[in-house]
Amino acid sequence: MCLSKPQRVVKIEGNQALVEFRNTKKIVKIAGSRQKLKSGDYVLCQNGFVVQKISKDKAKEIMKEWADFGE
């Protein structure tokens, strides 16, 4: 089970992305060339790496679940 919070890509620079979740920003690495990301995309990250790109609808669904947990 993945407990990652969806994060919005703010900016891409080389193999790194600046991501944001609820006004908290951090830099993560983009693992592998298969990740075709652009600003505005939503991703799941683990241990400082982008693991998966997800749709905006899926991101909203996950954020709602986190809100239900009081997060």
User: How many C-beta atoms lie closer than 10 Å to residue 43's C-beta?
Assistant: 22
Domain of 30, in residue numbers: 7-68
Question: How does DSSP classify residue 68?
Answer: H
1 domain-assigned: no
Residue 63 belongs to domain with CATH number: 2.30.30.140
Distance CA 71, CA 12 (A): 27
Q: What is the pLDDT of residues 5-28, one digit of tens each?
A: 899 999 999 899 999 988 899 999
Neighbouring residues of 9: CB distance < 8 A, sequence distance ≥ 6: 17, 18, 19, 37, 38, 39, 40, 41, 42, 43
Domain count, the chain: 1
Residue 35 scores a pLDDT above 70: no
The pLDDT assigned to 55 comes to 95
